[in-house]
Amino acid sequence: MHMHITEKEKKQANIFIDLLTILAGTALSAVALNMLTIPSGLLAGGTTGIAQFINHFFPISVGVFFFILNIPLMIAAYIFLGKKFSIYTIISITLVSSFLYFFPVQLMWTDNILLAAIFGGVLNGIGCGIILRRGGSQGGIDILSRIIAKYSNVSVGKANLTVNVMIVIASGFLFGSEIALYTIISMFASMKTYEVVLDHVNRVTILIVTEIGEDVNTAINSELHRGTTMWEATGGYTHHEKTVLLCVAVKGQVTQLKKLIKSVDEHAFISVISTQNVIGRFKQIW
């Protein structure tokens, strides 16, 4: 017997998978931080590292400071970024903060600081990456960077690098040069894993053929903050009037982009083409 799955059921299933992924990603990041990075005396990158820095002077849970630091950023995300991204990010921040508060801060698996630096970074990178793949984030500098990138050509990577350099310098002054060097190793492991999971470095060109071009264009502009180029075309087989849209994005946005297009026009034709370089105004918002 053939069972027909409605669009509403598909959407509900996707939301369930998104939330399950967010739960797994936040738990993984919290385990990496509380059971490898923090008890080894290392600082994580971004807002978590800043929360650890404050925790050094005020011994309250890192999770509490992490949540407090993210409050203005969550508000900014809701104002300036898409609704779905904001809601998923608020859920992620709340879960990470809770896990950091309730999970014990103690070494797990190893007491070797080098292994803790590497695998703490790797697990944290996986946790952050899989959440971003589902359309959310764990907050922090990612939110600020995406807002800045939306209105300028400053990339997320450059903004994160600036903050992380300051964290490394602070860890050097507080805990000594050796801890600072191990912190760099941990951040590097996290960054490279993040890139592998997200696979977001490469740019892609997306060609979309649809009969409701304006609706698809509006969705891409408002939800992903990407521009498009549109032109009219005619179907070679059907001879129906079509609209072709060209959009350049980073590879990590492709899954979200395809879902978005199909939610507007389930019959749209989508072609994804690897792009070696982009000359002109292109916002690297990841």
CA distance linking residue 246 with residue 278, whole number of Å: 13
CA distance linking residue 84 with residue 257, whole number of Å: 13
How do strand 229-234 and strand 269-275 relate by DSSP bridges? unpaired
149-to-74, 153, 225, 278 alpha-carbon distances in Å: 17, 6, 10, 16
The two three-digit tokens of residue 216, written as one number: 């698809």
Query: Strand, helix or coil at 249?
Result: strand
Region 80-88 average pLDDT: 84
Q: What angle do CA 76, 193, 161 make, to 5 degrees?
A: 50
What percentage of the chain carries pLDDT values higher than 90?
Answer: 30
CA distance linking residue 62 with residue 41, whole number of Å: 13
| Radius of gyration (C-alpha) of the chain in whole angstroms | 21
Q: Tell me the per-residue pLDDT of 199-250, one tens digit each, with 9 for 90 and over.
A: 655 678 899 999 999 999 999 888 877 888 899 998 888 888 999 999 988 7
Q: Tell me the per-residue pLDDT of 112-170, one tens digit each, with 9 for 90 and over.
A: 999 999 999 999 989 988 888 787 888 887 787 777 766 665 555 566 677 788 888 88
The highest-level CATH class for domain 203-275 is alpha beta
Kindly report the pTM of this predicted structure.
Answer: 0.71
What are the residue ranges spanned by the domains of the chain? 7-198, 203-275
